[in-house]
Chains A and B, each alone.
Chain A
Amino acid sequence: MTNMENLHLEGSAKTPSIHFDAATGKLELKGRSIPENSVEFYKPLNDWIDAYGKDPIAETSVDVKLEYFNTSSSKCILDLFKKLEAISGSKTKVVVNWFFEEDDEDMEEAGQDYQAIISLPFNIIEVEEI
């Protein structure tokens, strides 16, 4: 069992809230991701996944509950999924849950875009409100 620290970040007008919990293997991004330059924001998330991947628990689930994200973030989110793809294997099974609000076809399609590129199990889930 890992004893690494969890990653918790409050959401802001341009960045999502982050709850990455090493003990439960539950990772959540929620809110909006629209910074002009996303690299700085996503760096600690990727670093955390690298560290977690060394000693993960058997099942890792990633809940993406985004209201909006810009194209700068879209690339960083892809890189985050690639990190998760890399740690998925014998030590942990990674599942992505991509949430979208009802009728938000753009966010549903965005989930399908990632599903087409990333080889992780991808659940695209419609909810009333994120």
Chain B
Amino acid sequence: MIKNDIYELYQTMERENILLSFKGVVTSELLSSVLSIMESKMDYMDESPKMKKKVFNVLVECLQNLYHHIDSNEEQDRSFTRIEVKSALFMIAKKDDHFVIRTGNYIDKASAIDLEERLDMINGMDKDELKKYYQEVLSNGTLSDKGTAGLGMIDIARKSGNKLEYQFLPINDVNSFFCLNIKID
């Protein structure tokens, strides 16, 4: 039984052409390792330097979003163990001519509402509007204590050149599960 499950998982990952996936607590050390693995993997791939840089850039922002977000989630909900709430999932896949980065993490419902509003606003903008909005937030915004600039999602949208596909799955009264799907081509 267990053997079959693993085989199914293996086949799914093979079919989806997943280059790397991780589920667990996202730490600074983990980010360093993942970025270094992805860089050397891409070194061997027949991709333009431009594409490699885009993928790396978007990956940095996605993973650092998870890193910072998980940090802020601490002790928000007693019905989850600490590890569950601090844990996240991400995967990087290569499909035909494009790359896909997918992330999943718990988020409290109040933050989910804010985030959804921001994502919808970003998705409503074209290339030039995104550029203007980025410059506006860059010149007027301030860094949080964690060093976040509020620019991550705008930057991901600009560099990926695609809409940010997302979903919030209701989990319980306090939490949702945030799924983000980024296509880079």
| Interfacial residues, chain A to chain B (CB-CB below 8 A) | 13-14, 34-39, 67-68, 70-72, 74-76, 78, 101, 103-107, 109, 113, 116-117
Contacts and interface: CB of A to CB of B under 8 A. Distances in A.
Nearest to B134: A113
A71 to B, nearest CB: 4
10 contacts: A35-B147, A36-B31, A36-B68, A71-B155, A74-B151, A75-B149, A103-B48, A113-B131, A113-B134, A116-B135
Contact of B143 (A68, A72, A104): A72
B57 A68 contact: yes
A44 B54 CA distance: 30
Contact of A71 (B67, B135, B152): B152
B64 interface: yes
Interface in B38-86: 48-50, 53-54, 56-57, 60-61, 64, 67-68
A37 B60 contact: no
Interface string B126-140: 000001001100110
Contacts of B134: 113
B28 interface: yes
B32 A70 contact: no
